[in-house]
Amino acid sequence: MIKALDNINLTIKEGEIFGLLGANGAGKTTLVKILSTLLLPTDGKAYVHGYDVVEEADNVRRVINLVSGGETPGYGILTVRENLWFFSQIYGIPNAKDEIDRLLRDMELEEYADIRMHKLSTGYKQRLNLARGFINDPQILFLDEPTLGLDVLNAKHIRNYVRDWVKNSNKSVLLTTHYMAEADEICDRVAIIFKGKIIACDTPKRLKESIADKTSAVIEIKNNGIKIDRIDGMEGLALENHDGITRVKVLLDEQSSISRLVSYLTNNGYNISSIKMNEPTLEDVYIKYVGMSLDDKQS
Ligand SMILES: Nc1ncnc2c1ncn2[C@@H]1O[C@H](COP(=O)(O)OP(=O)(O)O)[C@@H](O)[C@H]1O
Ligand SMILES: [Mg+2]
């Protein structure tokens, strides 16, 4: 039997955006479906807002909502406003009109309110989808690749809105994504999922620090057309000369060494034109951990 998820053990806190970061097929949607009661787990226990997702599924459904990327939000022949009204009535929300007006405003959908949903662009369809996800004021919002296929501005709008909502309401978001930069930007903590297993879980900052020995820097020096092939007193540098610039690449062992390097170069008469620190990204973290787990399998 193939296990889509294997020995997952996670706790998501209030006021937190928790990111589940993984490639296609890693098991992200499977986990979201189990937690949102759309799929029964074959084994194991999961609780949402204190409710057992199998034994108390009705209670779970009352406190959650789910928005997935790349899905059609509701009914194409209904207008934007009618779609939100329809879903508000499924939840039996009293005085939904005010709430719908607020969501239309927040999602910058007011001018499209009376347009049939099928006429919206992909980005605005997803704004409607997100508005639908907030209609029952969920305690926990599941966002399964919510910015899939969106352009930069639409994706940014959605990320900003979600981040403000979590911070102002002390609610929780479980966000899945394969966009590393997205997880880095808005997630308080991130778990990397690979072949159904969690292989790392921490804040983006600490995950990056855990591979920080790989920090490198590139220093550009103006060389007035005279190539520099070595710098006396400095070992382990890679030097490249282009168009009057010498590019010095160096691996940094500790954060402080960049300042030592810069003062050394300055004191020895080199004219520094730029310094670029290549700090590790979540992508580097992902590659490091996923690579490690592949090695584990082979041994
Ligand atoms: N309905 C299904 N039946 C059988 N296997 C499935 C089904 N849905 C997903 N899978 C498999 O489970 C694994 C995890 O899939 P999924 O949770 O959709 O990954 P992700 O959302 O991270 O891309 C994959 O190997 C996928 O092929
Ligand atoms: Mg998925």
Per-residue pLDDT of 126-158, as tens digits, reads 999 999 999 999 999 999 999 998 999 999 999
Q: Whose CA is nearest to atom 11 of ligand 1?
A: 4
Domain of residue 68 covers 17-209
Same structural domain for residues 153 and 250? no
Average pLDDT taken over every residue of the chain: 90
Among 79-83, 230-234, 272-276, 289-293, the least confident range: 289-293
Same structural domain for residues 234 and 171? no
Would the CB of 19 count as within 6 Å of ligand 1?
A: no
**Where among 175, 190, 209 does a domain terminate?**
209
Which CATH number fits the domain that encloses residue 239? Answer: 3.30.70
Confidence of residue 298 (pLDDT cuts 50, 70, 90): very low
- pLDDT at res. 22: 92
Would the CB of 25 count as within 6 Å of ligand 1?
A: yes
Same structural domain for residues 188 and 223? no
- pLDDT at res. 199: 92
Same structural domain for residues 67 and 180? yes
- Residue 295 domain flag: no
Same structural domain for residues 263 and 179? no
Tokens linked to 276: 């670029």
Tokens linked to 104: 């239309």
- Residue 294 domain flag: no
**How far is the C-alpha of 249 from the C-alpha of 251, rounded, in Å?**
7
Same structural domain for residues 194 and 253? no
Number of structural domains, the chain? 2
- Residue 21 domain flag: yes
| Selected residue with higher pLDDT from 212 and 83 | 83
Same structural domain for residues 81 and 219? no
Tokens linked to 235: 């070992």
- Residue 289 domain flag: no
Please choose from 29, 35, 290 the residue to mutate so as to test ligand 1's pocket, defined by most ligand atoms within 8 A of CB: 29
Which CATH number fits the domain that encloses residue 135? Answer: 3.40.50.300
Average pLDDT over residues 221-249: 88
Confidence of residue 58 (pLDDT cuts 50, 70, 90): very high
Q: How far is CA 206 from the centre of its chain?
A: 15
Same structural domain for residues 265 and 196? no
The tally of CA atoms less than 13 A away on the side-chain side of residue 142 is 21
Same structural domain for residues 140 and 36? yes
- For residue range 163-220, list pLDDT tens digits in order: 999 999 989 999 999 999 999 999 999 999 999 999 999 999 999 988 866 578 899 9
**How far is the C-alpha of 28 from the C-alpha of 110, rounded, in Å?**
33
**Where among 160, 188, 209 does a domain terminate?**
209
Same structural domain for residues 137 and 50? yes
